Chain A
């Protein structure tokens, strides 16, 4: 959409790549998820740790003969806490090419300034500066007001956060009746007058129609069918064909005529 920030890259093969930046909304959403997962991990760890500590404290103080064994347990717990907090982001961003569970759900990804996937170094720098960015929501201000939406960690590590592939390959269900109609259309109509953009809109409609309200869906289908009819110069629609079915047939014939069905 035109309102989102974008970045462009020139690859060595002089292919231009364009990415949409993640935006504050997705980044906040990802962070909310990640912090909940982290909290869950830490709570489970602490419960387990307390349980272990209670079992071991007496036994250990007998062996070591020190009164301070409880303090040691506390110190180790704090240390592990810190490592889990930092390590969580480093671990996932390195392993999953710039994604954490939260970023995966929010469909965003960290990449290097040059468009390459992030490595251990970048992930670590981002994670180390996270506490500073979290303080007083400093990072949020940087993301909202910066042109490239970089928080301090991104500046130091040389990374940007972009939107990842959004849609899983969804299955398009096309009814059986559409097939013969599409054959017929290929012969009678000028399918090649359709542009890829038109095809994309029809595909989008077919993908989304199941989620639409019945009334709206019918009127959209009718509208699209009329427009397609005008574009491909079709005199009359084959008989007993609903707009929905007609669009399915159009989808099939366009696929066949441009050969990217095979």
Chain B
């Protein structure tokens, strides 16, 4: 196998093993996402027409906030026990560290969403388990972790730590949130692919641009 790819996968495996031993991130983020959905249910009332109108918004608020929570945890544990120095002294490039950590965060987020979506479908009796919504979720999550992993590394090195990530991440992620909500709304309404396509295009453009830019810029964050 390509040696760089091996290194990227090694970093990713390290994060996944750590997560499997503690189950810290996935469990707490999942509970948080479900809580957001339940709280929104109280905020809007459980009327069927209202719920149908706000469901995509509720789903994406839950995923965006859960994303912030999960992304904070990509670098805070590394910082707590000075593990980052260990990772940095490995014979891997900074870019490989970025991609490895990004992939691990991507998998954690997908795991949380894979449980949240069916629960959401069950609780609100809405057909959110359709292929268009799953595709939107995967693409939007990739955009979240692409820019979120970079900002997470940045936030953990500031005095404010976990406070700075949502302030940075949410405004930058606005295009993904808008597009994901719109695409999910169209999918829930049973619209054909045509209209959804332009929204998915924006998400894909965001994914590509920020994967490339974050990849290029990441080594400026963890220089020391």
Q: Do A and B bind each other?
A: no
Interface residues of B (CB under 8 A from A): none
Interface residues of A (CB under 8 A from B): none
